[in-house]
Structure formats: structure tokens, C-alpha cells
Chains A and B, each alone.
Chain A
Amino acid sequence: MDNTDRELLETIADLHEIPEGSFNIRKNGTLLARGCDKDIEIVSKTDKDGIDIIVRPGVKNRSVHIPVLLTVGNFQDTVYNDFYIGEGADVTIIAGCGIHNDTCDSAEHDGIHTFYVGKNAKVRYVERHYANGSGSGKRVFDPVTKIYLKEKSCFILESTQLGGVTYSDRKTVASLGKEARLFVKEKIMTDGQERAVTDFKVTLRGRGSRADIVSRSVARGNSLQHFRSDLIGKNECFGHVECDGIVLDGARIISTPKIDAVSTEASLVHEAAVGKIAGEQLIKLMSLGLTEQEAENAVIQGFLS
């Protein structure tokens, strides 16, 4: 690992060195390092690029890091990772990808992740995307996350796009069984000419299932973001989608909600608010002694915290 790798790892996974326990670090399309144990097994796929992560039933309070680094241009990396979470397990999975591109060619990582979450299991999935580099080459992420939740399981998705990403098209698909719960907290920051699209399709199949999706976004410069959600209630269930966006400069945010109560027992809510930073928020912070720029930064930092 060189200094660029370390900086990216720290940003996307809070890792300062190679971790202990189960982990998988991928760099420029190949395996950089891996560790696994009897509780969380990591196996390379034989038919395509990617890994299977197998968490044994009942494993509690464990975490697994699977970061990806991309430090070259003219490279497109697609990886298929499947997660099998055993019944009653409780784990944190820290994924994410950092791109450093100093070239004028594009660098792209597409993580296709599928989660099969067993009965009563709980997963906290943290995914951070970050890119930097001095080159004019594009830095692209097109992640796909598929989540299948069995009875009484719980999935917490914390997804963050920190900045520097030229283009991203994120798709999240989830299917919830009886009394299963899905919580999503998404944060996206774009600037310059960047584009970010995020698309949720969540089907509440099981009786008593519940989904809560909260997306917060900040668009600066001439960037464009498009939030789409499709929430389908097929049983007695509760679903809530909230999309809040702050637009600055000449940026634009589009929010396209769709809620579909297939069952009359479904209760679905959508909220969306997009606009500038409220003038009174800036005034309040300026009355505490902050400059207008400091006040704006404080509002954005809090909004995305």
C-alpha cells in the first residue's frame, strides 16, 4: 500500500492499516489483501469477478471491511459481491470505494452487491464513495444494491457520496418479508459539472414490514442530482420516503417520488423538500458571529451529518 491507498482507505473505511479478522481489499481489479475466520468466510467467485461473504448464523457484534481502491485511469471494474447473512446474526459491513484518477481517461467502479438476510438477522451496511485526482478523466460509480430480507430481519443502509465523483448512478432494490425492517440514510454531495442519480425500488411484501428511506443531498456549482423512489406496499405495512435537498449556485435537484399502495392495508408516506438554504438560518448563525460563508458551511455540514 502506498500513501494514496492509505488516504483512500482512511476516507472510505476509516482504516489506517490492514484490519484484523475478516476483510477483503481490492485494488485496480485484483485482490490486495484478505482475511477471514470461521464466523465470516470470504470466498472468491469462480464464474465472475467478485466474492461471497458468508456470515454464520448467530454471529454477533462482528464487522467486515470490503473496500475497493481504484488508482488508475482507463479502467472499468465491475465486481459481484454476494452476502449471505445467517439467521440471528448481527454484523456491520463496511464497503465503499475510493477512486484516485490523475489521468485524462475514465476510472469506473461498479459494485453489484446482493444481500440475502436470514430470519431475525441484523445488518448495518456502510458504503462510502469518494474520488479525487488531478486528471480530467471521469470518476464514475454505478453501484447496484439488492436486499432480500426474511422474516423479522433488519437492514440499515448508510450510503454516502462524499465528493469528487463525476457521475454516479445508484440503484437500490429491496424486498421485505414479514415484519422485516429497512432503514436507509443516504447523503450525496455534488459540485461542478457532477451528476448523481439515485433510484430506490422497495417492495414491502410481508405483513408488518417497514421501510424508512431518508435522502439528504447538497448540490453546488452546476451539478445535477436526480432522486427517484418507488415504494410498493403489498401487505399491511408502513413505508416512509423523505428527500431533502439544498441547492446552491446554479445546481439542480430533481425528486421523483412514487408510492404504490397495492394493499389497502399499506400506509405509505413521501416527503420532499428542495431549495436554497433558508435565509433565517444564515442570519441566525451570522448573529452568533459567523460570516455568511461560515454559516453556509455550518448548515451544510449539519444537514449532511
Chain B
Amino acid sequence: MVELKKVSYAVKDEASGKKQDILKDLDLCFGDASVTVITGPNGSGKSTLIKLLMGLERPTSGRILFNGEDVTGLSVTERAQKGFTIAFQQPVRFKGITVKKLLGLAGGAQPDIGQMCNCLSAVGLCARDYIDRQVDGTLSGGELKRIELAMALAKGGEVFLLDEPEAGIDLWSFEDLVRIFNRLRDKTVIIVSHQHRILETADKIVLFENDRVVSAGKKEEMFAKLSQRPALCSMQIKEV
């Protein structure tokens, strides 16, 4: 279980020099074996929350607890070792590093080829075609995104942070994504997304607006609220 206790994050506005709140007094709880989708307009602090959870940024105030342990001061590496796993919104390219090498680094210890192939298949990639490819500019955005997700699966862990996992992935592959979420059903999964089909996979939906959570609840009740305020989410919400 991951808990946020009165978490705030502020930056200094470059132009005015004034403090600007990105997130304010956030109290949230992400349970074990649950999929939570965080949604809301651009700039409402969703990706910042993911960064705070992974340790990429430190809260200005407040605490983050993992299974009751205060992890607020832990580094990215320490959180990764504790079981926090992230798939970034914009995957990074590496000149000279192969998919196999990255999956090996993700899996730790002795790389297991069978396991790597399994992870690539799960994201809809044929292992034979990709395992020796370099993770560089020769891969398309969609391919990189899938490899990013495969890396998260290869790493494993207890808390999965997926920042817009659907970005760049074609519509036909949504089924692959849904299968991945189902595969992680016994973990704490936190997804940032605007996509209706991803919201549908959630146990719980959290709606952000202007640096705070405006509403959080079970999928069914949240869908009802979202359909009344479509501007808060993507246009696809209108389909609800």
C-alpha cells in the first residue's frame, strides 16, 4: 500500500519569483492489488505525482509511505530496489544498448532469455525481431513505448507507475495494454491516462484539477461525475 500524507510540491516561478503550487496537501491511498487511474487536465500535476512517487522529485512538505514505511527521503535507486517500477511517458533512447541488455539490466542478476521474450510478447513485440535491436533512433515511438513497458514487466516489483502508457501506441494494441494491466492485478498499479478505454480498466479513478484532487472514487461513480464535466478529461470521455 502506498499512502500520501499531506504531500505538497511547489516550484519558484522563474518570471515572478513567487512560489507556485503544483500539488497541494494531497492525501491519497493506493491499495494493494488495485489499479488506479489518475486523470485530469494538462498541467494539473499528474506526472508530478508520478515523479514524487518514484523519487525523481522530493515533496516540499508531507510524507510518502510504502507499507507503512516512510520512503519520502529515499532516492530513485532505493525506491526501485524496494519495488517501485516506472514506465516513463517519454522513453529514453540509448545509443549502442540493445533491447536484450536493457531487459537484462531491468531483470537484474542473471538475465533469463525466456523471461525477456515473455515480456516482449506481452507488449506485442516478436522477441526474435527485437532482442538484438539497439534502443536508439532506429525504433519508432510506438516501439520504444512498448519496450519501456516490457522493461517494467522485466523488472517486476510491487508498485507500478505507468505514465500515459497508451501514448504513441496504436489503437489496435489497446488490448495488449489491457492484458498487461490484468497481469499486474495483484500489484499496486497507478496509471496516468486520459483514455476512456484505460479508465475502464481501473478499480479506482482519481481526478486532478488545479493542483489538487477534486474527486476520487470507484470507477462507476467517477464515470458518472466525469460525464457531467467532460472538459476535465479528454474528449473521449464524452463516449461514457
Contacts and interface: CB of A to CB of B under 8 A. Distances in A.
Nearest to A280: B92
Interface string B74-90: 01110011000110100
Contact of B96 (A278, A280, A302): A302
B50 to A, nearest CB: 11
Interface stretch (B101-109, B169-177, B203-211): B101-109
A288 to B, nearest CB: 5
Contact of B77 (A278, A286, A304): A286
Interface in A260-305: 278, 280-281, 283-292, 298-299, 302-305
Interface of B is mostly: mixed
B155 interface: yes
B81 A289 contact: yes
Nearest to A300: B96
Given A287-B54, A287-B86, A288-B155, A302 B80 contact: no
A288 B80 contact: yes
Contact of A299 (B77, B81, B94, B151): B94
B95 interface: yes
Nearest to A304: B96
A216 interface: yes
Given A290-B105, A291-B77, A284 B88 contact: yes
Contact of B80 (A278, A280, A286, A299): A286
B52 interface: no
Contact-residue bracket for chain B: 20 to 34
A32 B144 CA distance: 51
A287 B76 contact: yes
A302 B88 contact: no
Contacts of A292: 77
A285 B95 contact: no
A292 B77 CA distance: 8
Instruction: Count chain A CB atoms within 10 A of each CB in B54, B81, B85, B97 and give the residue with the most.
Output: B97
9 contacts: A216-B96, A284-B91, A285-B105, A287-B85, A289-B155, A291-B77, A299-B97, A303-B97, A304-B96
Nearest 5 Cβ contacts at the A-B interface: A302-B97, A302-B96, A289-B80, A286-B76, A303-B96
Given A283-B92, A287-B54, A289-B80, 9 more contacts: A244-B95, A278-B92, A287-B80, A287-B85, A288-B106, A290-B77, A299-B94, A302-B94, A302-B95
